[in-house]
Amino acid sequence: MNKILQGNLFDFLIGFVIIGVCFLLTYKKKKVIKLMDIPLLNKRILEYKPEPLVNDTEASLLTRAIMESPMPTSAGCLNLAKINYMDLLNNTVLRDKAEQCIRTYGVGSCGPRGFYGTIDVHLDLENKIAEFLGLEETVLYSYGFSTISSAIGAYCKKNDYIFCDEEICFASLQGFLASRSTVIYFKHNNMEDLEKKLEEVKQTEKLKNKTFRKFLVIEGIYMKTGQICPLPELVEISKKHKMRIFLNETHSFGILGKTGRGVTEYFDVDRSEIDMIMGSLETSLASVGGFCVGRSLVIEHQRLSGLGYCFSASLPPFLSYVSLCAIEMFEDNPSMFSKLQAVSIKMHESLGKLDDFLIVSDAISPLKVITLKKDANVEKTDKIYDFCANNGVFVLKIDDRILFHVNIGMKDEEIERIVDTFSKAVEVV
C-alpha cells in the first residue's frame, strides 16, 4: 500500500514539475512600459545634481586633521588604552608560538571555513573554548566586531523582540539593525524597567494572540560602563518570560570568576541557562577574532547562517593558535585571575580618592570607567584625555567618559601615577 502511494505521489510530482517547468519557460511577463517623456528625461539627467559623496566641507577639514593617534612608544609611558589585561600581548612565549605557526601554516588562510579554510588549529581552538566553558560547541569568527553583529543577525528575525540594555555596545546595535527585529531598551542594569517592558510586550502578545520570540542581549561587563550585569536576576526573569539570553562576554571571559570562566562563574550561574555566549579573542586572549559558544543545537546554525562566518575568510591560523596557547596558560595558572581582580580592586580604591570623579565601573572590573562628578561634558573630557596623553598616560574616551584598562602587572607606583595624573587633569579643566 505504502509503495503504491509513494509511486502515485511520485508520478504526481513528476507531472506537476514538468507542467511547472513548461509554464515557467513559456510564460513571459508582459510588462506595460510606461514611456518616459524623453525631453523631460534629458532635462532631468542634465539637471541632476547629486550630493557629494561625503560632506565636502567637513571632509576637506579632515584631510588636514590627525585622526589616528599612533601607538605610544616612548619609554615610561603608561598605555592604558591597550586591552592587555593579562599582559599576554608582551608575552614572548606566545610570540614564539605564533612564529612556529606562521612557519607551518603561513599567514592567511586563503578561504572561508567552508572552502578549505578550516585549519586544524581552528578546530583545536573551538574545542578548547567549548571544553574550557563546559559547553558543546564553538564557532570562530575572524573579527571581534563582526562576531557579535553576525551572531545576533543569525537568530533574530523580523518579527522577533530584542530586549537590551541601553548601554549596549555598538557591535550589537549593528546586529540589531541587520536583524530588523523590534528592539526594546531597558535602563542600565535596571530589572524593574525590564520587567515593565516585558509586561508591555506580553500585552501585545495577548492582543495579537501570538507568542513572539524574545531575546535578551546583555554584556558580562558592559563595555561602556564597566559594570557587571546582574546575571542571576536576568536569568530568573528570562525563564519567567521564556526569553533566550545572548550574553556578550567580551570583557569578562578569561577575566571574571575564580578560574576565568567569566561572569557565569562569578555569579555561579549554570551555563546551560545561557543560550549563547559571545566572546572576543581580542581582550584577555591577546589575539584578534571572536567566538560564540553554547549548545550544538544553537551554535551549529551559525555555520550556515552567520554571515561573517560563511562569507569571510577564516581567522589567520597563527591568531587562533595564540589564543589556544593563552587558554592553556589560563588552565595551568588559575591564580592569574585573582591577581588581576586584586589589581582591579586596588585601582578602584585608589580612584575613590579622587573627589572630582565619579567611578562608573564596578570594583572588580578591569575595565575602568570614570567621569566628572560635576557637569561632565565632551569638551572637558577631551581636555582630560589630552592632558593625560601629554603626561604619558594614555586612556580612551567615549562621549563624556574616560575609559582605561587595568593590567595584571601594574605596580602600586603606576596606580598612584595614574590617579595623580587624573587629579592634576581636573585642575586644568
Ligand X SMILES: Cc1ncc(COP(=O)(O)O)c(C=O)c1O
Instruction: Collapse the DSSP code of 294 into the 3-class scheme (helix H, G, I; strand E, B; otherwise coil) and give the result.
Output: strand
Give the relative orientation of helices 231-241 and 191-208 as an angle to the nearest 10 degrees: 10
State how far the Cα of 372 lies from the Cα of 378, in Å rounded to an integer: 10
Cα distance between residue 281 and residue 140, in whole Å: 9
In whole angstroms, what separates CA 90 from the centre of its chain? Answer: 24
SS3 411: coil
- CA–CA gap between residue 235 and residue 242 (Å, rounded): 10
User: Using an 8 Å Cβ cutoff, are 167 and 187 in contact?
Assistant: no
Q: Does 388 bind another protein (CB under 8 A)?
A: no
Cβ 118 to ligand X, closest distance in Å? 14
Q: Which does 346 bind (CB under 5 to 8 A by kind): another protein, ligand X, none?
A: none
Cβ-contact 367, 221 below 8 angstroms: yes
Task: Compute the least distance from the CB of residue 31 to another protein, in Å.
Answer: 12
Letters for 353-382 (x = contact with another protein by CB under 8 A, - = none) are ------------------------------
**Given the rule CB under 6 A, which of 193-201, 210-218, 306-314, 315-323 is the region that contacts ligand X?**
306-314
Span interacting with another protein, options 32-40, 330-338, 367-375, 417-425, rule CB under 8 A? 32-40
User: Where in 132-171 is the site for another protein (CB under 8 A)?
Assistant: 142-146, 149, 155, 169-171
Taking the least distance from each CB to another protein, the nearer of 53 and 375 is 53
Q: Which is nearer to ligand X, 314 or 361 (CB)?
A: 314
Q: Which one of another protein, ligand X, none is in contact with 18 (Cβ closer than 5 to 8 A by kind)?
A: another protein
Nearer to another protein, 197 or 241 (CB): 241
- 57 phi, psi to nearest 5 deg: -65, -40
Please report which helix (H) or strand (E) contains residue 26, including its range.
Answer: helix 2-26
**Is residue 201 part of the contact set for ligand X (CB under 6 A)?**
no
Of positions 7, 8, 11, 69, contacts another protein by CB under 8 A: 69
Report the residue number, 298 or 340, with the smaller CB distance to another protein: 298
Task: Name which of ligand X, another protein, none residue 58 binds, using a CB cut-off of 5 to 8 Å depending on partner kind.
Answer: another protein
Q: For the window 307-326, what string marks contact with ligand X as x by the rule CB under 6 A?
A: ----xxx-------------
Q: DSSP for 171-235?
A: HHHHHHHHHT-EEEEE-TT-HHHHHHHHHHHHHHHHHHT-PPPEEEEEESB-TTT-PBP-HHHHH
Say what the alpha-carbon torsion angle 334, 336, 342, 346 is, to the nearest 10 degrees: -170
Closest separation in Å from C-beta 277 to ligand X:
23
Q: By CB under 8 A, which span of 92-100, 330-338, 355-363, 375-383 interacts with another protein?
A: 92-100
From 117-125, 189-197, 339-347, 350-358, give the range in contact with another protein by CB under 8 A. 117-125
Residues in the chain, how many?
429
Sheet of 182-186: strand order equals 137-141, 290-294, 276-280, 244-248, 214-219, 161-165, 182-186
Q: How far is the CB of 102 from another protein (least distance, A)?
A: 6
Q: Which residues contact 331 (CB under 8 A, 6 or more apart)?
A: 132
Give residues 5-34 in contact with ligand X (rule: CB under 6 A).
Answer: none
The residues in 269-308 that bind another protein, with binding defined as CB under 8 A, are 272-273, 275, 282, 286-288, 295-298, 300-301, 303-305, 307-308
Nearer of residues 173 and 313 to ligand X, judged by Cβ: 313
- DSSP annotation of 372: E
How many other β-carbons are positioned within 10 Å of the β-carbon of residue 263? 26
- By CB under 8 A, is residue 95 in contact with another protein? yes
Q: How far is the CB of 23 from another protein (least distance, A)?
A: 12
Tell me if 118 contacts ligand X by CB under 6 A: no
Q: Which three cell numbers stand for residue 128?
A: 578548547
Q: Which residues bind ligand X (CB under 6 A)?
A: 311-313
